[in-house]
Amino acid sequence: MSFEILTYAFMHRALIAGSAIAILCSVMGLFLVLRRYSLFGDALAHSSFGGIALGLFAGIYPLWTAYGVSIISALLITKIKEKYNISGDASIAVLLSSGIAVGLVIISFSGGFSLDIFSFLFGSILLVSVEDTVGIVALTGVILMIILLLYRQILYSTFNERQAKVSGVPVDKINYLIIILAGVTVVTAVQLVGVLLISALFVIPNVTAIMYGRGFKQTMFISMTIAVSSVIAGILISYVFDITPAGTIVLFAIGVLAVTMGIKSAGLLSKN
């Protein structure tokens, strides 16, 4: 592989933005996976599709409408789940299908699919601008800072919600915060892998990391390492072979998962 590609400015932006998104998705994804909300990120991504379509139809920057629609949808479906005692997987299915349905209806009103819609469906990380890169890095820093400041409360409510309530942790507020941060993370990551593959960055690195059987912090570090490695390798390989970055990133992550499964099956992974 030629190192000449690393001298291009657009490649620098893609690697920086991609690495930031990978770290953010692996951290948020771990909390979702441990809360048994693995597909929540996928549902939010499909919900954001409706917001993207709305933004393009209204002539507004689509990511802004996607942020709003994703957060509102996540909060609304969570409220409905609590009030009507709907199971988690059922509420996720409602959110997923409704987001796609709304998006398709809006697209039909605007005259069908456009190049902009396809870029959001499948990702366009190599086209990320300087402004987008700065925004992604800044947003990643803000979200990680929030998680760091509330780390103990978030962790406690994730592993033992009932005991956390008894201990005075504002579990409901923490849950809503996680949902909002997940919504923001999903829309931010749409630029990398698109709506259709977003759940891969949330789930695959964390499922792989959990298989190592380490503590929470070590699992998070392993997950971030896998996510960032997958993004960097996927971007570089896709450029060299002129294939889609999003699919290459996901396939690389799946490859790491497959290797880990093989190692675990061989009994070569041991717990500390």
Domain of residue 171, residue span: 3-198
Q: Report the alpha-carbon distance of residue 229 to residue 15 in Å, rounded.
A: 10
pLDDT in tens, 216-254: 999 999 999 999 999 999 999 998 888 888 889 999 999
Domain containing residue 18: CATH number: 1.10.3470.10
Please state the rounded mean pLDDT for residues 200-219.
Answer: 93
Residue 123 lies in a domain: yes
Residue 232 lies in a domain: no
- DSSP one-letter code for 203: H
Residue 17 lies in a domain: yes
pLDDT in tens, 119-134: 777 777 888 889 989 9
Q: Report the alpha-carbon distance of residue 122 to residue 258 in Å, rounded.
A: 23
| Domains held by the chain: number | 1
**Residue 203 in tokens:** 């789930």
Q: Judge residue 9's burial from the number of C-beta atoms within 10 Å of its C-beta, 0-12 exposed, 13-18 middle, 19 or more buried.
A: exposed
Looking at every residue in the chain, the average pLDDT score rounds to 86
Is the predicted pLDDT of residue 1 greater than 60, yes or no?
Answer: no
Residue 254 lies in a domain: no
Is the predicted pLDDT of residue 3 greater than 70, yes or no?
Answer: no
Q: Report the alpha-carbon distance of residue 124 to residue 108 in Å, rounded.
A: 23
Residue 241 lies in a domain: no
Q: Report the alpha-carbon distance of residue 20 to residue 58 in Å, rounded.
A: 30
Residue 151 lies in a domain: yes
Is the predicted pLDDT of residue 18 greater than 70, yes or no?
Answer: yes
- Least Cα distance to 243 among 68, 96, 69, 122 occurs for 122
